Amino acid sequence: MSTPSMTLFHSPASPFVRKVMVLLHETGQLDRVALKTIVLSPVNPNADLNQDNPAGKIPALRLADGTVLHDSRVILEYLDQQHVGNPLIPREGSARWRRLTIASLADAILDAAVMIRYETFLRPQEKHWDLWLDNQQDKIERALTHLEQDAIAELSSAFDIAAISVACALGYLDFRMPDLAWRKRHPKLAKWFAEVSERPSLKATEPPVA
């Protein structure tokens, strides 16, 4: 086992961090990264993190030379170029843009779900903006419908950036929005997720018990 040369600003609850952790597992790079656990929320910033990432967000990855990379997409791209196995982000051609577009849709699910989490968990109930919450939830539903109806074959064809991102998005919905009951409306996606959830990389990075 080698000494870690990089530091990942980390929280086990963050689905964006989870994507990075899954890629580290899948590409055999776990021992290259030390984890620095960060506790933060939009109303409770972390001074240490702010020094390395002015955006105050995780994940951020400090490299051996002190350079700090963020956000998750940049870190994933970097780490995928640091191993000798098959790339998990296609380097070129139409596959690259197709797979990154699915990953982007998964990130849109995550952005909406994290916003909902912040609005409902951090703001007093009497200040919740229901119209805004409904629109975030509609975005999630539209994205899930697209994945179910138009992208399931593509998604099932490889476990790469697209699959990692969608799996982490679905895992976050289960973690923070269990009442969404998305499986009833999206059975093909549910079957796919049950299968990929058996992978050691996803098992090892499951969010903590809520």
Residues of this chain that bind ligand BEZ (CB under 6 A): 11, 13-14, 114, 117, 176
Instruction: Tell the smallest beta-carbon distance from residue 22 to ligand BEZ (Å).
Output: 15
The two tokens of residue 134 are: 């409904």
Q: Which two tokens stand for residue 142?
A: 């539209």
> Which one, 14 or 165, has the nearer CB to ligand BEZ?
14
Residue 13 or 95 with smaller CB distance to ligand BEZ: 13
Least distance in angstroms from the C-beta of 37 to ligand BEZ? 11
Segments of 98-185 assigned E as strands: none
Tokens 């629109």 correspond to what residue? Answer: 135
The helix (H) or strand (E) run that includes residue 14 is none
Cross-sheet strand order for the sheet of 6-10: 33-37, 6-10, 60-62, 68-69
Handedness of CA 154, 158, 162, 165 (dihedral sign): positive
Residue closer to ligand BEZ, measured from CB, 166 or 169: 169
Query: What's the closest the beta carbon of residue 140 comes to ligand BEZ, in angstroms?
Result: 14
Q: How far is the CB of 23 from ligand BEZ (least distance, A)?
A: 17
- The DSSP H or E segment spanning 55 is none
Residues listed for the chain: 210
Whichever of 103 and 151 has its CB closer to ligand BEZ, that residue is 103
Q: Closest distance between ligand BEZ and the C-beta of residue 66, in Å?
A: 24
Cα–Cα dist 33/4, whole Å: 5
- The answer for residues whose C-beta is within 8 angstroms of residue 186's C-beta and 6 or more apart is 144, 145, 147, 148
> Is 163 buried (19+), middle (13-18) or exposed (0-12) by CB count in 10 A?
buried
Residue closer to ligand BEZ (CB basis): 108 or 114: 114
| Nearer CB in complex with ligand BEZ: 133/152 | 133
- In whole angstroms, the minimum distance from the beta carbon of 163 to ligand BEZ comes to 20
